[in-house]
Amino acid sequence: MLLLRKSGAISFDDILTVNGLRCITFQQACQEYGLLRGDQQWHDALNEAAQFQSPRQLRMLFAMICGFGEVEDVPDLWVQHQVSLCEDFVHRYSEQTGPHYALADIEELLTSYNLSLQKLHLPTVDLPASVLERANFDVVEEQAKANSYTMQLNSEQRNVVEILLSAVYNNSADTPKCYFLDGPAGTGKTFVYSTLLHTIRGRGDDVIPVASTGIAATLLIGGRTAHSVFKIPIDLNATSTCNLKPNTKEADMLLKTKLIVWDEAPMTHVHAFLAVDRLLQDLTKCKEPFGGKVILLGGDFRQVLPVILRGSRTLTVASSLKKHALWLKFHKLYLTKNMRALESERDFGAWLLDIGEKKSGSTIQLPLQCYPSIQDPVHQLYSDIDFSSVTPQELKGRAILTVNNERSMEINNKVLEFMPGNETVYKAVDMIMSEDPQDQLTFPEEFLNSLTPTGLPPYELKLKIGCIVMLLRNLAPSKGLCNGRIQPEGEKNNKPRAPFKQVKSLRMSYDGEKGR
């Protein structure tokens, strides 16, 4: 590795010399150059973050590193950065008890990644209630929001809200408990969810909002992905069960909730609903659908159905909730009035719905405004923007769709040329995860650098300050580290911005067979 990366070496002493100092072994020289795997990159990340992040943010970063990074020695990572991670608790309590509170906070953060202090060989502590206590919603504020939202409902939305509230607070055996809210985009399904959330929380009760994707979950106040809440397994089949144990905080939360709201339900495989149905029946000791809990599914079957890997049209349709007997248990509610489109756009919206329902005939003629007058899409969308003063809110409505990753990277790099400032290139670290040493020779690092597999970042990621970044993983949706996050106006960071430094990112793969 040294011969491949150090030019002009004429002796072994030249190879062993790094920054004017002679190393004892070639392995030590490789470590000084950062060519060998180790935890130095994680130490550097925490050291750099400690200069401008709060202790709470450092603990979040520590949990993310443990959850997503391949750390060889987690206890050593904790020991070396203990002072920075515990600074706030030490100031509040003492040097003796501060680390215990910090470890308790880290334990809570690790639950999102299915980890614990014991699994990482960190010191275990008795978790104090003050650390684990979650911030409750302000009942008075929720009531005010509920009243404001209710006044803005149209007749269809108001009818849906009244039916759901009646089902939540009416203990009659004849009242349906399972509902599906069907409506095209723009009819106000999310607004109905928000009204229900504020109303139920304003009465001091619990409600669980979930969604099939991380982006959809961010649109719901306090929302999380369904896989995170119910612990739905990744590999699903007709007999799958959720990995959530009774007598836990998560199980107690499900038992106390008055309503479960599940957005973008048509995107979810029917096996996931069956697994949740079994879970709730086991927890509540009730054989009714979903354990007798009031559940509201929402979405639009005209949009994306469950994605089946290399599946045919028949398999995709068969995986939908509509094709299962469980669908007969749901009471259907409908929204038809488009609240998002302008008056001049309603005809176009109705025309699109007619196409989806095969009511427009066999021949489709696109309106003239759909044909671009300029062939270059980058020039068409971004030539009128002053990138020196543009905001994310102005950019979020402009996008160019492509059919492959290669074309999208070409467009990204071309748009990047419009932006002012210096370009910074981030290079990934590639490696083969195999127990066969021959694979290391078969797939050299240079070959790996030429690949850009689906779901992984490119080897060279070019960025400028101010450009929009999409996360491949929703690291912490509750903290805004997820796709779709835009910093609201008025939400400012009082801490100084860290200098933009050259770093390396790790392109990680998932080995399902070995669980790595």
Q: How many domains does the chain have?
A: 4
Report the pLDDT averaged over residues 120-138. Answer: 61
pLDDT at 360 over 70: no
Task: Kindly state the average pLDDT of the residues 105-119.
Answer: 88
pTM of whole model > 0.85? no
Whether residue 287 sits in one domain with residue 237: yes
Q: Where is pLDDT greater, at 444 or 375?
A: 444
442 lies in a domain?
A: yes
**Looking at the predicted structure, is the pLDDT value of residue 437 above 50?**
yes
- Is the pLDDT assigned to residue 497 strictly greater than 80? no
Are residues 181 and 322 part of one domain? yes
CA triple 338-341-345, angle to 5 deg? 115
Is the per-residue pLDDT at 501 higher than 60? no
Within 8 A by CB and 6+ apart from 494, the residues are none
Domain assignment of residue 371, yes or no: no
Average pLDDT of the chain is 81
Tell me what the mean pLDDT of segment 334-348 comes to. Answer: 82
Task: Note the pLDDT of residue 199.
Answer: 93
Residues 267 and 173 grouped into a single domain:
yes
Best-predicted range by mean pLDDT among 64-73, 155-164, 487-496? 155-164
- Do both 57 and 152 map to the same domain? no
**Which residues constitute the domain of residue 215?**
139-334
Pairing of strands 178-182, 21-22: unpaired
pLDDT tens-digit map of 247-257: 888 888 899 99
- Domain match, 53 and 175 both: no
Q: Which residue has the higher pLDDT, 420 or 281?
A: 281
Q: CA-CA distance, 451 to 458, in Å (whole number)?
A: 7
Tokens of 374: 């300029």
The answer to whether residue 500 scores a pLDDT higher than 70 is no
Q: Are residues 383 and 296 in the same domain?
A: no
Same domain, 447 and 310: no
DSSP strand pairing (17-18 vs 21-22) = antiparallel
Min mean pLDDT across 14-18, 249-253, 448-452 is at 448-452
Q: For residues 138 and 284, what is the distance between their CA atoms, to the nearest angstrom? A: 28
Return the pLDDT at 311.
82
Structure tokens at 132: 């684990």
What is the identity of the amino acid at 250? E
The answer to whether residue 343 sits within a structural domain is no
Q: Which long-range contacts (CB under 8 A, 24 or more apart) does 250-256 make?
A: 251/283, 253/206, 253/208, 254/208, 254/230, 254/279, 254/280, 254/283, 254/293, 255/283, 255/284, 256/206
Domain-embedded: residue 361: no
Q: 357 lies in a domain?
A: no
Reduced DSSP (H G I as helix, E B as strand, rest coil) percent helix, strand, coil of the chain, to 5: 45, 10, 45
Q: Is residue 8 part of a domain?
A: yes
Residue 27 sits in the same domain as residue 72: no
- State residue 417's pLDDT score: 85
Residue 502, pLDDT above cutoff 60: no
Kindly report, residue by residue over 274-331, the tens digit of the pLDDT. 999 999 999 999 999 999 999 999 998 888 888 888 788 888 888 999 989 999 999 9
Q: Return the bridge partners of 427, or none.
A: 460, 504
The radius of gyration computed from the CA coordinates of the chain, to the nearest angstrom, equals 27
User: Which helix (H) or strand (E) covers residue 353, if one does?
Assistant: helix 346-356
- What pLDDT is attached to residue 126? 66
Q: What average pLDDT score do residues 368-388 get?
A: 73
